[in-house]
Structure 1
Amino acid sequence: MDFSIIRIARTVLHVKDLELSRKFYVDGLGMIETERDDRHVYLRGLEEHCHHSLLLKKAEKSVVEVLSYKVMKEEDLEHIEKLFKAKGLKTKWMPKGNQYAIGRTLRVHDISGIPLEFFAEMPTVDRMLQKYDLYRGAKIQRIDHVNCAVPNVQKAYDFYVKSLGFSCSEYTETEDGDLWAAWLFRKPTVHDQAFMSGPGPKLHHFAYTLSDRLSVLDCCDVLASMGYADCIERGPGRHGLSNAFFLYLRDPDGHRIELYTGDYLTCDPDMKPKRWDLNDPLRQTFWGHQAPDKWFNETSTFIDIETGEEINSEEPKLEQRKPKILV
């Protein structure tokens, strides 16, 4: 492979009320505000040294503009463009200076229609890891992964593993052996990119790593005290998949964010992916309350990299199922 993808690096969200969103992410969740202007807020976690990992953009509709991956070097961008063009997939260059606080980027639509962005350059800033006086809310550390609903998980899996160099840590199969969900990684943790069967392409959630389980509980207290208790959609609980201690929230625009701790290293080359049966009740929830229907059925819409129009979703190849969960 002629290029090297490092990790998921940022999410770009469109929000209707920029100040309300800023209050939720900064005052509620404890993210660091790197910079802002009248139409943008640039946020990062305490551990992060890159300028931002979450960009909030003021807009008329609450949609997802792009999911961004960092690559090893500038030359990788040309090789990635060549790959996507060879497969007949849409590409678009964003020259340096076109976007603030990021270098030249390549935007594409992947095999499922998800808008992706690849970049090698972003300004660096001071880590706030030991600025304990700034710790508040969830004390968010760093971006961890994104999870997308796609109509054909096997197709997405094949593209990311065979063409983009991702590896698989865990996966879910139906009783017939069909791939229903997959957890794929580039950095040495459980996942950067997850796929699950559903109408798509849609963003189910993006996720940030926390330092410990107590940070999850602290976040619940802070959100409730600020009047955001209804934003807590699911959890706290523990996934069987990934072993994550989790909390799912909905921001003021309905975008879903997972706060996440407790997964494991995946860097050993002889590590075998863990298989889960779709009917295993411990797969999705090792313990915790039953997820509400909206957790399964509601997602965020992507937009086209050229037109900015909302991308239509396709029905999944496999039947959607809500598993029985042990409480």
Structure 2
Amino acid sequence: MPVPPPVLHPPFNTVRLSHITYTVTDLATSRAFWVDTLGLQISAETDTALHLRAMEERNHHSIILQQGVEPRAGALAFKLYEDADLDRAADWFSAQGQGTTFTDDPLTGRTLHTTDPHGVPLDFYARMTRLPSIHQNYALYHGVKPLRIDHFNLFSPDVDGSIDFWTQMGFRTTEYTEDAETGKCWAAWMHRKGGVHDIAFTNGIGPRLHHTAFWVPTPLNIIDLLDLMSTTGYRDNIERGPGRHGISNAFFLYIRDPDGHRIEIYCSDYQTVDPDHEPIHWDLKDPSRQTLWGAPAPRSWFEEGTLFEGLAPREPALKAQPIVAP
């Protein structure tokens, strides 16, 4: 299936992805990983929650770690252009048959809560509490030196359906993987902010969160993180990489936090701001699609993900199989 054409004048204006909440089972253990090892900065800390941001982020947080019983993912949050877009978004989601509610959040103000057709929880806001810039405070840089949150990747039980819905929201497809036997999309990468993606969808049992990614300055930062993790008790948390994706051209590393939440460390993709930017087609059986160079992805990378709170995943309709490492 060819991907639908972009909607250049969507019903509401999404700027970019913003943040996500992870439920973790031991906040102190998670703090040691996300802060002391990865290098995210603490914006706020209580006995039950941590708000974290990366070095270039002025918004209060991009990650919330919330103490809980089982590892889960909360809503995917997106920043809208202006307050009026919240009402436009609410009207549009209601017209699609998706329920909507508003709350007044102390950090994001008036916030819209809704879901996509697969039940993925979504939050939208226009203004978050801002913090002073720290990107030139080089004494704070440590770990992998994360600069900013880059994207979410989800398992979807119907990638074509996800592409269609998110295209109507104004997200534009940059690259996609097609199963030649069925003509269906196996994966897609979609953006708002002018990179390869703010959100991606991969065929699989879902909806589940596959990973959240952070942008880092150079591949050497990833090598430094590997040295650090392998000598500080986190060797087994390294799942895949380093390597370079065919899709996105990104230099990547996939790691797992102490609760199994997957994080991609990511750099070197490309600009996609032109409105007539044409999506790149990949065949599912092309070995350079997932890995231009480096070891193929392990089975865990295709099968394991984080459940969304209160949402039961389902089997995908498409049963096509990519290349999996032995």
1:43 maps to which residue? 52
Does the alignment pair 1:54 with 2:58?
no
Determine if contact 1:281/1:324 at 8 Å carries over to the other structure: no
**Cα drift, residue 324 of structure 1:** 5.5
Measured in 1, the distance between the counterparts of 2:229 and 2:57 equals 23
2:100 maps to which residue? 91
**For 1:286, which of 281, 292, 298 is the aligned residue?**
292
CA deviations on 1:149-185 (whole Å, 9 max, x unpaired) are 11111111001102x0111100010113211111000
1:311 maps to which residue? 311
Residue 113 of structure 2: SS of its match in structure 1? Answer: strand
2:302 maps to which residue? 296
CA deviations on 1:268-307 (whole Å, 9 max, x unpaired) are 122211000001000001111122211111000012xxxx
Residue 125 of structure 1: SS of its match in structure 2? Answer: coil
Determine if contact 2:179/2:320 at 8 Å carries over to the other structure: no
Output the aligned Cα RMSD: 1.3
Measured in 2, the distance between the counterparts of 1:238 and 1:112 equals 31
Does the alignment pair 1:215 with 2:215?
no
CA deviations on 1:60-84 (whole Å, 9 max, x unpaired) are 1110011100001111111111111
**Cα drift, residue 238 of structure 1:** 0.6
Q: Which ranges of structure 1 fall in alignment gaps of 5 or more residues?
A: 304-309
Residue 300 of structure 1: SS of its match in structure 2? Answer: coil
Residue 204 of structure 1: SS of its match in structure 2? Answer: strand
Structure 1 outlier segments of 4+, above 6 Å: none
2:25 maps to which residue? 16
Determine if contact 1:208/1:259 at 8 Å carries over to the other structure: yes
Determine if contact 2:21/2:66 at 8 Å carries over to the other structure: yes
**Cα drift, residue 95 of structure 1:** 1.6
The one-letter code of the counterpart of 1:218 is: D
Measured in 1, the distance between the counterparts of 2:227 and 2:75 equals 31
1:116 maps to which residue? 122
CA deviations on 1:16-38 (whole Å, 9 max, x unpaired) are 11111111011100111111111
TM-score (norm 2): 0.94
**For 2:81, which of 57, 67, 72 is the aligned residue?**
72
Does the alignment pair 1:31 with 2:37?
no
The one-letter code of the counterpart of 1:119 is: Y
Residue 163 of structure 2: SS of its match in structure 1? Answer: helix
The one-letter code of the counterpart of 2:315 is: E
Determine if contact 1:184/1:194 at 8 Å carries over to the other structure: yes
What fraction of aligned residue pairs are identical, expressed as a percent? 44
Does the alignment pair 1:270 with 2:276?
yes
**For 1:4, which of 13, 18, 24 is the aligned residue?**
13
1:189 maps to which residue? 195
Residue 301 of structure 1: SS of its match in structure 2? Answer: coil
Determine if contact 2:296/2:323 at 8 Å carries over to the other structure: no
2:323 maps to which residue? 323
**Cα drift, residue 320 of structure 1:** 4.4
Measured in 1, the distance between the counterparts of 2:304 and 2:324 equals 19
**Cα drift, residue 2 of structure 1:** 3.7
Measured in 2, the distance between the counterparts of 1:324 and 1:254 equals 20
2:210 maps to which residue? 204
Determine if contact 2:285/2:322 at 8 Å carries over to the other structure: no
